[in-house]
Amino acid sequence: MKMKKVLNVLAATALTCSMITVPVLAAPTGSASLETQKKEAQSEVNSLQSQLSTLMSKMTELQSELISKGEEITKAEKQLKDAQEKEKQQYEDMKLRIKYMYEEGDGSALERILGSGSIAEMLSQAEYVQKIHSYDRDMLEQYVETVHEVEDLKTALESDMNKLEEMQTEYENQQTELNTTIENKSAEIANLDEQIQEAARKAAEEEAERQRVAREAAAAQESATAAQNNGGGGGGNVPTSPETPSTPSVPSPPPVSDGGGSGNTSAAQTIVNAAWTQIGVPYVWGGTTPYVGLDCSGLTQWCHAQAGISIGRVDRDQLAGGQVVYDPQPGDIAWTPGHVAIYIGGGQMIEAQQPGTTICVSAVRASVYVRYW
């Protein structure tokens, strides 16, 4: 009887030892390193986003300068045209006066001077003629000087415009580079997230396995102790191992609201129709005159005005004043930093693209869409 009791204790003890020595995988040590990498990458993205935000503010200010400079050039062109017309008119008037004075025969200036009854009268007539000549010459010189001044002003403004456009190109290149870097870093962060989640999943599985083995070992030890205390009769059931707990699922982000509009399709159609009427109109910086010259925000502003909708002058104001939507409908503004256009459906938009081009239909390019109707 005693021998049987000893054998039972030895068997339980052996079972306990065999469970305790089951190999258990250590929790992955790389998770903390991945988190550190993610934080560093996120810090870089935040810095890049800050640079991009600063750059976009500069681009908005530059756009305002370009619009203002374009308006100055348009004004200077009108002044130059008026000055040239006045110069031409003054020249024609002077020729007529000379012809009248010296070629008309009776009553001409020369005959009036020579036919004077006295020296005083003759001098008076000669002085009168001289004053007329001086007036014509002065006026003509004045108009010629004005023409030259306006031409110089126009040249200076165009030079300023070229510099601003070069700056705009440089900013756009910087924006493209920053966006590319941000996209690459964001992809790196997403990859690190996947690695972190995989490491967490493995750690959870390993922890569950460790706990399972520990529970079985504890149960075996308890069974051995009971068998020893009860004279070997403690052959209780060994608890079955519980199911490994599943890794908690990561909640998906809420869907982005489509920001539906007020449903005024009549206004939207009016906006689109207005945009179509400007096809072929030249791009003019600062242009707000339909059928003559428009810039990108001048086009979108005018098209909305045809539907009785007042919007801001520059792209930043047009973004801030409307409703951002992600289900583009014809009549929405296709907005990207520094540029706007009218979305007409089918993945196309009508835009005033850049100097040297005319308003046209092109494939849509947009960061977001803005709705006012």
Is 141 or 155 the better-scoring residue by pLDDT? 155
Give which of 315, 308, 317, 321 is closest to 342, Cα–Cα. 315
**243 in any annotated domain:** no
For Cα atoms 165, 172, 363, give the angle at the middle one, nearest 5 degrees: 100
The CATH number of residue 127's host domain is 1.10.287.950
The amino acid occupying position 325 is V
Can you give the pTM of this predicted structure? 0.49
Let me know whether 178 and 270 are in one domain. Answer: no
pLDDT of residue 253: 34
Let me know whether 72 and 169 are in one domain. Answer: yes
d(C-alpha 225, C-alpha 13), whole Å? 9
Question: Per mean pLDDT, which range of 16-25, 52-61, 86-95, 167-176 is the poorest?
Answer: 16-25
**90 in any annotated domain:** yes
Give which of 265, 70, 60 is closest to 160, Cα–Cα. 70
pLDDT of residue 120: 65
Let me know whether 136 and 39 are in one domain. Answer: yes
Question: Which of residues 190, 210, 230 is at a domain's end?
Answer: 210
Listing DSSP states for 106-152 in one string gives TT-HHHHHHT-SSHHHHHHHHHHHHHHHHHHHHHHHHHHHHHHHHHH
Determine the average pLDDT of the residues in 276-299: 93
Question: Per mean pLDDT, which range of 33-37, 266-270, 328-332 is the poorest?
Answer: 33-37
Structurally, how many domains does the chain consist of?
2
pLDDT tens per residue across span 95-141:
676 666 555 544 555 555 556 566 666 566 566 666 666 776 777 77
Is 367 or 29 the better-scoring residue by pLDDT? 367
pLDDT of residue 184: 85
Let me know whether 200 and 278 are in one domain. Answer: no
Let me know whether 182 and 282 are in one domain. Answer: no
The CATH number of residue 311's host domain is 3.90.1720.10
Determine the average pLDDT of the residues in 177-186: 84
Let me know whether 270 and 170 are in one domain. Answer: no
pLDDT at 234 over 90: no
pLDDT at 258 over 70: no
pLDDT of residue 249: 40
Could you tell me how far CA 89 lies from the centroid of its own chain? 50
pLDDT of residue 42: 81
Let me know whether 163 and 280 are in one domain. Answer: no
Is residue 183 within a helix (H) or strand (E), and if so which, with residue range?
Answer: helix 119-229
**329 in any annotated domain:** yes
Let me know whether 193 and 331 are in one domain. Answer: no
**111 in any annotated domain:** yes
Across the chain, what does the average pLDDT equal?
Answer: 76
Let me know whether 170 and 40 are in one domain. Answer: yes
pLDDT of residue 347: 92
% of the chain surpassing 70 pLDDT: 71
d(C-alpha 285, C-alpha 364), whole Å? 21
**258 in any annotated domain:** no
% of the chain surpassing 90 pLDDT: 24
Question: Per mean pLDDT, which range of 11-20, 119-128, 180-189, 216-225 is the poorest?
Answer: 11-20
Let me know whether 192 and 274 are in one domain. Answer: no
Question: Which of residues 210, 232, 248 is at a domain's end?
Answer: 210
Let me know whether 161 and 34 are in one domain. Answer: yes
Torsion 63-68-72-75 (CA) sign: positive
**238 in any annotated domain:** no
**144 in any annotated domain:** yes
Let me know whether 178 and 301 are in one domain. Answer: no
**101 in any annotated domain:** yes
Residue range of the domain that includes 136: 30-210
Instruction: Give the list of residues 6+ apart from residue 307 with CB closer than 8 angstroms, or none.
Output: 266, 267, 268, 270, 271, 274, 373
pLDDT tens per residue across span 308-328:
999 999 988 999 999 999 899
